[in-house]
């Protein structure tokens, strides 16, 4: 499919982070144990599809929380359930290049891609949590450069495995008895620094060629990985100039690799809290803030910043001296840079910081029109091709997006009113990949 003639269209993805982004989300939901229930995720998937969203996204960090729901289920389990009750919405599964083997990543994601009719994506993350290292037999986390070197090699192996089946490799001709065309199946022969992989994948090509590759990590190494290989990138930016800078960097680096800049879709995070009027939106935010304070968020914020939970105090500024000494170990450079920039620009205490963006993404409180104004400015100003939406509390926060924000964006001609294709690649305006890489990692 060629995308050249298409007008530029906004993309919207929803981050299905258990109960929602707000720490109070689980306390206001009909069922606080929904995060363990496939019916809960199916409802979210149906809602996302009713809103014509590009995809639902499951993060994964191998962690749990003692204070609220977390990503307990392996992402492929809820995503397969969503695939069964929807026909269009894309399905993004996070897999760690630091701890998961590329063959397993390639196979699981290709399986979801095939059974969903070409709707799957791999969100590649160079996991930063030291606790995760200990789950996988390491005493400590490899350093940032080492994790990204491994990520790059893992991505090359996964892409080669995905492309090991050419179109037409699966024949299944009952009359002649020909099941496959072996000349179109290309074994990978990879002897690298981190992985040795010999042989083809055992999952044939899906209707979108291969799964979409998403990258989430805003350090220079993460950005370089995205520019070279990714079809889309999740980013963190709090101001339009910062977003425009990141957008230009990724697109021009992609062009430097001989890629078309519109084949890397840039999706910053956005956390809207919506209301029919501005006062109603503020009331909803105040209500959620009142149900649960931010004490429970200190652990996650300190981890993101490479600190210990005891280093942060709600009514004090960030401990800038400790942050200087903490260096980069264990922190997400992309998230940390965005959070530190916001805190220093606006001189925020930890509590104010958490009220503004309880986990790193830019937050807006307002009516669908007000949020749409902002979305439009970022989209037309080339700070974003779309957004990775964080929902305050599922399911009603997503209902407010689907029934309020989406129609407003549709009225402005920014967002699709119907899906134009059935694959995630077609929703994102991505060309179907060839199989040039077949067998070569």
Ligand X SMILES: Cc1cc2nc3c(=O)[nH]c(=O)nc-3n(C[C@H](O)[C@H](O)[C@H](O)COP(=O)(O)O)c2cc1C
Based on CB atoms, which residue is closest to ligand X, 75 or 200?
75
Residue pair 387/13 in contact (Cβ under 8 Å)? The answer is yes
Among residues 29 and 127, whose Cβ is nearest to ligand X?
A: 127
What does the alpha-carbon distance between residue 305 and residue 313 come to, in Å, rounded to a whole number? 14
Instruction: Report in angstroms how near the CB of residue 19 gets to ligand X at its nearest.
Output: 16
Closest approach, Cβ 191 to ligand X, in A, equals 26
Q: Which residues contact 54 (CB under 8 A, 6 or more apart)?
A: 11, 12, 13, 89, 90, 386, 424, 427, 428
HSE-CB of 91 using CA atoms within 13 angstroms:
35
Q: Hey, is 276 helix, strand or coil?
A: coil
Q: Which is nearer to ligand X, 201 or 301 (CB)?
A: 301
Q: Which is nearer to ligand X, 29 or 221 (CB)?
A: 221
Tell me the C-alpha distance between 252 and 334, whole Å. 19
Q: For residue 386, which phi and psi values (nearest 5 degrees)?
A: 170, -165
Nearer to ligand X (CB atom), residue 126 or residue 409: 126
Extract the tokens encoding 149: 């070197």
Of 330 and 433, which has the nearer Cβ to ligand X? Answer: 330
Smallest distance, ligand X to C-beta of residue 72, A: 13
Q: How far is the CB of 223 from ligand X (least distance, A)?
A: 8
Write out the two tokens for 293: 């304070």
Q: Which two tokens stand for residue 292?
A: 């649960």
Task: Kindly state the smallest distance separating residue 293's Cβ from ligand X, in Å.
Answer: 25
At its nearest, how many Å lie between ligand X and the CB of residue 337? 8
| Interface residues toward ligand X, by CB under 6 A | 59-61, 94, 96, 125-128, 216-219, 222, 234-236, 269, 332-335, 388
β partners of residue 12: 387
Tokens 């009331």 locate to: 283
The least CB distance from residue 258 to ligand X, in Å, is 24
Distance CA(264)–CA(139), nearest Å, equals 36
Rounded to whole angstroms, how far apart are CA atoms 194 and 151? Answer: 10
Whether 91 contacts 424, CB under 8 Å: yes
DSSP per-residue codes, 335-354? HHHHHHHHHHHHT-BHHHHH
The pair of structure tokens assigned to 367 is: 């009516």
**Identity of the residue, 223 or 370, whose beta carbon is nearer to ligand X in the bound complex:** 223
Number of H helices, E strands in the chain: 17, 13
């Amino acid at each position: 499919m060629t995308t050249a003639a298409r007008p530029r269209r906004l993309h919207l993805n929803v981050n299905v982070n258990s109960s929602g982004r707000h720490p109070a989300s689980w306390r206001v939901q009909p069922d606080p144990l929904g995060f363990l229930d496939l019916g809960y995720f199916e409802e979210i998937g149906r809602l996302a599809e009713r809103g014509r969203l590009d995809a639902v996204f499951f993060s994964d960090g191998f962690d749990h929380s003692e204070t609220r729901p977390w990503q307990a289920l392996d992402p492929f389990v809820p995503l397969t359930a969503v695939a069964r009750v929807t026909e269009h919405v894309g399905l993004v599964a996070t897999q760690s290049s630091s701890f998961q083997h590329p063959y397993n990543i390639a196979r699981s994601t290709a399986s979801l891609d095939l059974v969903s009719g070409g709707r799957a994506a791999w969100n590649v993350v160079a996991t930063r949590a030291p606790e995760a290292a200990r789950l996988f037999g390491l005493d400590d986390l490899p350093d940032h450069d080492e994790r990204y070197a491994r990520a790059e090699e893992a991505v090359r192996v996964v892409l080669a495995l995905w492309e090991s089946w050419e179109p037409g490799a699966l024949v299944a001709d009952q009359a002649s008895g020909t099941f496959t065309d072996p000349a179109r199946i290309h074994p990978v022969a990879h002897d690298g620094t981190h992985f040795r992989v010999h042989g083809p994948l055992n999952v044939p090509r899906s209707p979108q060629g291969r799964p979409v590759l998403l990258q989430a990590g805003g350090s220079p190494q993460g950005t370089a990985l995205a520019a070279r290989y990714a079809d889309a990138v999740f980013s963190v930016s709090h101001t339009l100039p910062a977003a425009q800078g990141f957008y230009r960097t990724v697109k021009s680096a992609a062009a430097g690799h001989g890629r078309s800049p519109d084949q890397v879709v840039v999706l910053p995070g956005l956390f809207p809290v919506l209301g029919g009027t501005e006062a109603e939106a503020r009331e909803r935010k105040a209500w959620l803030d009142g149900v649960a304070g931010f004490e429970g968020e200190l652990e996650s914020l300190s981890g993101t910043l490479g600190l210990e939970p005891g280093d942060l105090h709600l009514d004090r500024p960030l401990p800038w001296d400790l942050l200087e000494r903490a260096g980069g170990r264990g922190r997400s450079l992309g998230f940390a840079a965005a959070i530190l920039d916001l805190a220093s620009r606006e001189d925020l205490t930890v509590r104010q910081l958490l009220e503004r963006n309880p986990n790193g993404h830019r937050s807006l409180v307002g009516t669908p029109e007000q949020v749409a104004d902002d979305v439009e400015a970022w989209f037309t100003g080339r700070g974003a091709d779309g957004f990775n939406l964080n929902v305050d509390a599922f399911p009603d926060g997503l209902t407010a997006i689907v029934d309020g924000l989406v129609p407003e964006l549709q009225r402005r001609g920014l967002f699709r009113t119907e899906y134009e294709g059935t694959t995630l690649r077609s929703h994102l305006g991505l060309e179907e990949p060839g199989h040039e890489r077949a067998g070569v990692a």
